[in-house]
Amino acid sequence: MSIASRLAALEQHAKGGGLTVVTVHGGLPDYGLNHAQAGGYSWTRDPLESEEDFAETVGRLAVANREPVLVLGGLPPPLS
């Protein structure tokens, strides 16, 4: 099952208004799907974890925490 179809299934089953998933691709260089953020939550993919498993895991965590938007991408958020 592709990342897109797994995320679509999570969106369909999300409670409390659904989950909107924004996936950011590209950049120089393109690091793949290594980071995710939803509300105040932030996750980094373990190098041994597949992108598909990471996307599914963070999608479930975002839904469980009732976050309306999940952003997946390659670069981590800026350090503050």
Burial 25-45 (b: 16+ CB within 10 A, else e): eeeeeeeebbbbbbeeeebeb
> What is the predicted pLDDT for the residue at 60?
92
Greater confidence (15 vs 55) lies with 55
Q: Is the pLDDT of residue 3 over 80?
A: no
Name which of 45, 25, 36, 38 is nearest 64 in CA terms: 38
Query: pTM value?
Result: 0.71
Classify residue 15 as exposed, middle or buried by CB count within 10 Å of its CB (0-12, 13-18, 19+). Answer: exposed
Domain regions of the chain by residue span = 3-73
